[in-house]
Amino acid sequence: MADPVAVLGVGMHPWGKWGRSFVEYGVAAARAALADAGIEWKDVQFVAGGDTIRNGYPGYVAAATFAQALGWTGVDVTSTYGACATGAQAIDVARARILAGLCDVALVVGADTTPKGFFAPAGGDRPSDPDWLRFRLLGATNPIYFGLYARRRMEVFGATAEDFARVKVKNSRHGLANPNARYRKAVSLDEVMASPVVSDPLRLLDICATSDGGAAVVLTSMEFARRHAANPVTIAAVSTVTPCFPNTIIEMPNFSTDSAAAVAAPEVPFKDSIARRVYESAGVAPEDLDLAEVYDLSTALELDWYENIGIAKPGGAEKLLRDGETTLGGRIPVNASGGLACFGEAIPAQAISQLCELTWQLRGQAAGRQVEGARLGLAVNQGLFGHGSAVLAKR
Amino acid sequence: MAESKARVPAIEGWFRMDGSAPCLLGVRCRACGTVYFPRESFCRNPGCGHGELEETQLSRRGRLWSWTDNRYAPPPPFVAKQPFEPYTIAAVELGAEKMVVLGQVASGVDASAFRVGQEMELVLDALFEDDTNEYVIWKWRPVAA
Ligand SMILES: [Zn+2]
């Protein structure tokens, strides 16, 4: 079991379609996190930046970009990229530096500016890049993969389009009072069901948008934190796992799964292994969780996550949802923040924003969406090309 | 002059251009037997890692794992028909290879009666065309009952 590090400060720039530079969002989030921690920028000894791949060179060297914008201080930096898992990697690098005794105070920042509409591959002809080829040869957008998973859930577990819509209804209510959410409007079941089909069975309101946004956290050693806060939220474990061969579930942006003809599929499928890693490293079980933030790229994917993180048995997610157990006030609220349904996806910021939400929840500061008495929270997501991401936060 | 266009593969070396019995072309590891599609240049089985790879033809039939469709034109590099025509995408599980392979569903096939587990077969069909060529790709269609 690894030692904890403290989450001394958190901050976000609201999600939206602001059309400004990602640097502005990152700097605003960083300043908010520093203020929340009660420390100065010059006290930061390490910056971990989550890269964005759609904003030119400054996006590939995000940590230096943010450090320069905040004012060069000679601070050490590292920039990381792991698709939607980018933020968890940045968090984990900062955490490792602290646990190794190389620094006491680290700032983790991720921010993105996104184009309108579907996510398209980065520009240029790249006929050896599967992310380019899947658009060229298949027309396989991200919603195509979400649609395949959703249809599979209906066929195997008897899920219905109404079940998927209920996830959106729940999350839209959760996000109503969240000042950082982009969409703060209660959505009805009828509204979801009346929205146009994008990739059958998923409708427009089942699929998350792409957003601009920024998130930052100040991580410190426990010793440093105790001089600044009485009872800080801590990170108990982080998961940045990759799949085990053969990975037999079709995954974005691939054309095929691995073949299990020569080697049997692993006992624990990839998505199940993501949260399992943090449970094992912190010595907790899914039953111990008070809340979870999961990556609801689609409504149907949220249901998959219930099973992947072990709060429902395979095929049990719809009942957990229908019984209201994952709604605020239920046994294990999921996406109390409103989730991607209310935020839209700002890739390098997303996993960091999940930790911001867990921190506010565990401090009892999540006004209008508070999970009463929350002590242990899980944030989980997955990035394309085999990136698992989970953070377990505790108070 | 559409009838004079040449039928050429939309990508070289991924499938056999054989009108009556097309199939996907992958590679198989001589040491452990793992199959890869698209081709790999090395065996990715961590318990092997040393096998030479040889070209192999994948099964032409499999079972439907899932399907969905696209009601809106994707961004480039997809070449969308004008006006855009929605298309279905199927994930098909090949029995011998124990792998799932994606493909569009052949144009004109109605997916409303699809069921997981039904048998599908590989065909060649147009992906897009320009002034001189019709670019062909593999697609899935149900095996006639
Ligand atoms: Zn091998």
Q: What is the pLDDT of residues A10-48, one digit of tens each?
A: 999 999 999 999 999 999 999 999 999 999 999 999 999
Q: Distance from the CA of B101 to the center of ligand 1, in angstroms? A: 20
**Residue A41: CB atoms within 10 Å:** 15
Residue type, B130: D
The single-letter DSSP state of residue A58 is H
Greatest CA separation for chain A: 57
Residues of chain B falling short of pLDDT 50: 1
Looking at the structure, do residues A195 and A50 belong to the same domain, yes or no?
A: no
Distance in angstroms (rounded) separating the CA atoms of residues B37 and B40: 7
Q: What is the pLDDT of residues A209-253, one digit of tens each?
A: 999 999 999 999 999 999 999 999 999 999 999 999 999 999 999
Per-residue pLDDT, averaged over A364-389, amounts to 96
Q: Distance from the CA of A265 to the center of ligand 1, in angstroms? A: 15
Looking at the structure, do residues A224 and A331 belong to the same domain, yes or no?
A: no
Q: What is the pLDDT of residues B108-139, one digit of tens each?
A: 999 999 999 999 999 999 999 999 999 999 99
Looking at the structure, do residues A319 and A203 belong to the same domain, yes or no?
A: yes
Task: Tell whether the model's pLDDT for residue A266 goes beyond 80.
Answer: yes
Specify if A122 maps to a domain.
Answer: no
B contacts of A256 (beta carbons < 8 Å): 37-38, 99-102
**Whole-prediction pTM:** 0.96
Looking at the structure, do residues A138 and A263 belong to the same domain, yes or no?
A: yes
Specify if A317 maps to a domain.
Answer: yes
- The whole-angstrom distance between A10's CA and the closest CA on chain B is 36
Looking at residue A344, what is its pLDDT?
Answer: 97
State the Cα torsion B48-B49-B55-B58 to the nearest 10°: 50
Q: What is the pLDDT of residues A313-352, one digit of tens each?
A: 999 999 999 999 999 999 999 999 999 999 999 999 999 9
Looking at residue B145, what is its pLDDT?
Answer: 62
Task: Tell whether the model's pLDDT for residue A276 goes beyond 60.
Answer: yes
Domain that holds residue A68: 5-117+213-234
Specify if A148 maps to a domain.
Answer: yes
CATH number at A90 reads 3.40.47.10
Looking at residue B1, what is its pLDDT?
Answer: 46
Looking at residue A303, what is its pLDDT?
Answer: 98
Total number of domains constituting chain A: 2
Q: Which candidate from B72, B87, B99 shows the least CB-CB separation from A258?
A: B99
**What is the layout of strands, in order, in the sheet containing A212-220?**
A76-80, A46-50, A105-112, A212-220, A5-16, A233-239, A387-394, A376-383, A291-293
